Amino acid sequence: MLKNGPVSLLFHSLVVGFVLAPLVVICLVAFTPENTLSMPKFLTPWNGFSLRWFRAIFEHPDFTASFWNSLLLATLSASIAVALSVPAALAIDRMEFPGRASLNALFLSPLIIPHLVLGVAFLRLFALIGATGSFPWLVASHVIIITPYVLRLVLAALSGFDRSIEAAALTLGAGPGTVFRRVTAPMILPGITGGWLLAFINSFDELTMSIFVTSPQTVTLPVRMYMYATESIDPMMAAVSALMIALTAIAMLVLDRAFGLDKILVGQK
Amino acid sequence: MAFLALRSLSKVFGDFAAVRDVDLGVEKGEFVSLLGPSGCGKTTTLQMIAGLAEPTAGTILLDGRDITNEKPNKRGLGIVFQSYALFPHMSVAENVAFGLEMRGVNRAEREARVKAMLQLVRLSEMAERYPRQLSGGQRQRVAIARALVIAPPVLLLDEPLSNLDAKLREEMQFELSRIQRSTGTTTIMVTHDQSEALSISDRVVVMEAGRMTQIDAPFHLYENPANAFISSFVGKMNRLEGQMRGGAAVIAGITLPCAPAGLSEGTAATFTIRPEKIALCAAGQGLIDGTITSRFFLGNTWLMQVETLAGSLAVSLPNQGEEPPRPGSPVALDWPASALRVEEGG
């Protein structure tokens, strides 16, 4: 095990502190009893902290509806992106066919197009085909912007893959489907789960494009928060953020306990 | 009829013929090596037998049955890959059990057969380990166990020892031979290492540029190489240009005794002699005088280079506990007439 010197220890602490500081601030502000984004008063512990803004969230059913909506949207689109990316990555990595490089570029192109541009484009497209405000089309638009992340990670998992391992399984009597299920898929699993998580987070977090393509029935949580914040700045935003941080932390903890995060994201320990 | 037969087998990639019109019969229980330099088509031949490469022409018969177009997962052959190709996400026992699982063997029998196989390759203690926790030699034995547990009619080995260090490679040669003999599995091994091929095979097949140029028992192959390529590829060989005169070799004007050959008087020929068949003796007492130009100590042998009027000759002497003369010393060389031969196919 490599030991850190005092200087590098200080440097790492500062970096971690810089990353975490805003999250700590927002979590503290969430407990304020005031009507403004202010820090709770530490000197009066019991009167200084309040749960009123957390209570306020649940008095806004539109927020909880948006939360469930975002959760469903991110889960669906991340899963569809994985279902599309794995076969695409296998084809791009292993087959020689005309247009292979173009296909790769096409799949990755959403990364370089600004979400604002995509938002306007989708708005126009959905209006043309009469799909404005439809949830399936919202999912489709999210799939398009998150697929590059999954494809990249699955392609990375496939590079350096020893094909003779699959040949070995084949000669031991496994059919092509079994080879994929028992050998290929488990071996690229870190790429698949990592890609799914990254896609999920990107979809859950997406604001710029979603502003254009959501309807009042399909408003996502980031869009709801943005709309709320443009009208009034009150500590409820901080409370929603604190809840999201807590949920993410719990999800990560559960994942780690159940499967081991380093195992599903990095591969065998 | 041979147990495994290759008939006029060819494989063409574009305008490059990797394997050309190859014929081979392997008997049941036999250990055959395909020996040749890289790019000679030996691995492609193995892949065609395994079903991993499709032959352009020809047929493959296993026990009289045509398997040329059978899928690799239906052939039931055991294969050990150069990289071992173990399943990294499965334990040693799971790796070995995989083939049995695919055959629908029930759990109890599976466990018993895996256990017996791990015992055979001496890895019983490692059953629960993962491939990454094993050494190179252990991984290779897992790969052999995984291929053999399905009781394949033929075991195919692709450069099985090339990833091991020199000492381990020697140990594994004997280990491989022991395992093969105790199961009696017909085995075909691909290798570019002549000593590996000679030491463990019943027969060696030499391949050059997609063709099989000699098929012989190791000793016979070494003693009677069919052409110039084989004589220098398998072991070391001294080669001297000369003529046949009066039943003897005349090289650079010097008459030297040689093995009889059916050549007419005065025919130009290449004569060959193995370094270990030449004896070193005091100057003036051998067939030809010379001077030592270099000497290398290899532990069990001394490898010397001796400059003579007939040319420079490599001489290999067993180390018998006494230092041979130093470079610059005058010596003479001696050999039995049968050691100097006319090269075939030359």
Q: Is the pLDDT of residue B33 over 70?
A: yes
B58: helix, coil or strand? strand
User: What letter would DSSP give residue B265?
Assistant: T
Phi, psi angles (nearest 5°) of residue B209: 45, 45
H helix intervals, B81-236: 92-102, 107-120, 136-148, 166-183, 194-200, 218-223, 228-233
| Contact between B89 and A165 using a beta-carbon 8 Å cutoff | no
Q: What distance in Å separates residue B87's CA from the closest CA in chain A?
A: 7
CA–CA separation, A18 vs B144, rounded Å?
A: 54
**Span B238-256, mean pLDDT?**
88
Cβ-in-10-Å burial (0-12, 13-18, 19+) of B268 comes to exposed
| Contact between B99 and A172 using a beta-carbon 8 Å cutoff | yes
Q: Let me know: does A206 contact A222? Beta carbons within 8 Å.
A: yes
Q: Tens place of pLDDT for every residue, chain A, 269 residues?
A: 567 788 999 999 999 999 999 888 888 888 888 887 777 776 665 667 788 888 888 888 888 899 999 999 999 999 999 999 999 999 999 888 888 888 888 888 888 999 999 999 999 999 999 888 789 999 999 999 999 999 988 998 898 899 999 999 999 999 999 999 999 999 998 889 888 988 998 999 899 999 999 888 889 999 998 988 888 778 888 888 898 888 888 888 887 777 667 766 665 44
What is the sign, positive or negative, of the torsion defined by CA atoms of B44, B49, B55, B59? positive
| Contact between A173 and B79 using a beta-carbon 8 Å cutoff | no
Locus of tokens 């799949």: A107
Phi, psi angles (nearest 5°) of residue B169: -60, -40
Half-sphere exposure of A177 (CA within 13 A, CB side): 0
Name the residue in chain A with its Cα closest to that of B95: A169
CA–CA separation, B170 vs B167, rounded Å?
A: 5
Q: Is the pLDDT of residue B241 over 50?
A: yes
B205: helix, coil or strand? strand
Token pair recorded at residue B106: 């029930």
Residues contacting A60, CB < 8 A, separation 6+: A236
The pLDDT value recorded for residue A46 is 63
Name the residue in chain A with its Cα closest to that of B85: A165
CA–CA separation, A204 vs A248, rounded Å?
A: 11
The pLDDT value recorded for residue B175 is 86
Q: Would you state the torsion angle of the CA atoms of residues A176, A180, A181, A186, taken in this order, to the nearest 10 degrees?
A: 160
Q: Is the pLDDT of residue B285 over 70?
A: yes
Q: Same CATH topology for B4-233 and B238-342?
A: no
Maximum alpha-carbon separation in chain B:
77
B17: helix, coil or strand? strand
The pLDDT value recorded for residue A44 is 62
User: What amino acid occupies position A248?
Assistant: T
Q: What distance in Å separates residue B89's CA from the closest CA in chain A?
A: 7
Q: What angle do CA B113, A183, A197 make, to 5 degrees?
A: 140
Q: What distance in Å separates residue A185's CA from the closest CA in chain B?
A: 11
Q: Is the pLDDT of residue B9 over 90?
A: yes
What is the sign, positive or negative, of the torsion defined by CA atoms of B77, B81, B85, B90? positive
Name the residue in chain B with its Cα closest to that of A268: B89
Q: Is the pLDDT of residue B89 over 80?
A: yes
Beta bridge partners of B59: B7
Locus of tokens 């395992």: B179
| Contact between A172 and B82 using a beta-carbon 8 Å cutoff | no
Query: Domain-by-domain residue ranges, chain A?
Result: 6-266
The pLDDT value recorded for residue A269 is 41
Of A168, A173, A175, the CB nearest to B103: A173
Q: What distance in Å separates residue B93's CA from the closest CA in chain A?
A: 15
Residue B209 CB: number of other CB atoms within 10 A? 15
Query: Domain-by-domain residue ranges, chain B?
Result: 4-233, 238-342
Q: What distance in Å separates residue A269's CA from the closest CA in chain B?
A: 10
Beta bridge partners of B269: B242
Residues of chain B that touch chain A, judged by Cβ-Cβ distance less than 8 Å = 50-52, 72-79, 81-83, 85-89, 98-99, 102-103, 130, 132, 146-147, 150
Residue B146 CB: number of other CB atoms within 10 A? 30
Name the residue in chain A with its Cα closest to that of B152: A172
| Contact between B79 and A165 using a beta-carbon 8 Å cutoff | no
Residues of chain A that touch chain B, judged by Cβ-Cβ distance less than 8 Å = 162, 164-165, 167-175, 178, 182-183, 186-187, 268
Q: In what order do the strands lie in the sheet with B341-342?
A: B254-257, B248-251, B238-245, B268-273, B341-342
The pLDDT value recorded for residue B174 is 87
CA–CA separation, B246 vs B255, rounded Å?
A: 10
Residues on chain B touching A175 (C-beta within 8 angstroms): 73
**Span B94-104, mean pLDDT?**
95
CATH fourth-level superfamily of B238-342 = Nucleic acid-binding proteins (2.40.50.140)
Name the residue in chain B with its Cα closest to that of A172: B99
Residues on chain B touching A169 (C-beta within 8 angstroms): 87, 98
Residues contacting B69, CB < 8 A, separation 6+: none
Helix (H) or strand (E) holding A237: helix A236-258
Helix (H) or strand (E) holding A24: helix A6-29
Residues on chain A touching B89 (C-beta within 8 angstroms): 186-187, 268
Residues on chain B touching A172 (C-beta within 8 angstroms): 73, 98-99, 102, 146-147, 150
Residues on chain A touching B147 (C-beta within 8 angstroms): 172
Of B74, B85, B132, the CB nearest to A168: B85
Q: Let me know: does B286 contact B278? Beta carbons within 8 Å.
A: no
Of A162, A167, A173, the CB nearest to B99: A173
Q: Looking at the domain B4-233, which fold is it? A: Rossmann fold (3.40.50)
Name the residue in chain B with its Cα closest to that of A168: B85
| Contact between A187 and B88 using a beta-carbon 8 Å cutoff | yes
Q: Let me know: does B345 contact B226? Beta carbons within 8 Å.
A: yes
Of residues A210, A224, A197, the one with CA closest to residue A115: A210
B271: helix, coil or strand? strand
Number of residues that make up chain B: 346
| Contact between B146 and A178 using a beta-carbon 8 Å cutoff | no
Beta bridge partners of B342: B271
The pLDDT value recorded for residue A265 is 64
Q: Is the pLDDT of residue B8 over 80?
A: yes
Beta bridge partners of B188: B32, B156
Cβ-in-10-Å burial (0-12, 13-18, 19+) of A241 comes to middle
Q: What angle do CA A111, A115, A120 make, to 5 degrees?
A: 135
Is domain A6-266 in CATH 1.10.3720.10, yes or no?
yes
Q: Is the pLDDT of residue B262 over 80?
A: no
Pairing of β B301-308 and β B311-318: antiparallel
Pairing of β B31-35 and β B203-208: parallel
Name the residue in chain A with its Cα closest to that of B97: A172
| Contact between A173 and B82 using a beta-carbon 8 Å cutoff | no
Locus of tokens 């999920």: A200
| Contact between A172 and B75 using a beta-carbon 8 Å cutoff | no
The model's pLDDT over B176-232, given as tens digits with 9 standing for 90+, comes to 898 899 899 999 999 999 989 999 999 999 999 999 999 999 999 999 999 989 988
The pLDDT value recorded for residue A104 is 87
Distances in Å between the Cα of B300 and the Cα atoms of B235, B320, B329 are 16, 8, 22
| Contact between B102 and A174 using a beta-carbon 8 Å cutoff | yes
| Contact between A167 and B88 using a beta-carbon 8 Å cutoff | no
CA–CA separation, B56 vs B48, rounded Å?
A: 10
Pairing of β B238-245 and β B211-216: unpaired
Share of chain B above pLDDT 70, in %: 99
| Contact between B73 and A162 using a beta-carbon 8 Å cutoff | no
Q: What distance in Å separates residue A228's CA from the closest CA in chain B?
A: 49
| Contact between A174 and B146 using a beta-carbon 8 Å cutoff | no
Maximum alpha-carbon separation in chain A:
73
Q: What distance in Å separates residue A103's CA from the closest CA in chain B?
A: 26
Q: What distance in Å separates residue A89's CA from the closest CA in chain B?
A: 21
Q: Would you state the torsion angle of the CA atoms of residues A114, A117, A123, A128, taken in this order, to the nearest 10 degrees?
A: -130
CA–CA separation, B186 vs B148, rounded Å?
A: 11
The model's pLDDT over B41-50, given as tens digits with 9 standing for 90+, comes to 999 999 999 9
Helix (H) or strand (E) holding B254: strand B254-257
Half-sphere exposure of A260 (CA within 13 A, CB side): 7
The pLDDT value recorded for residue B274 is 93
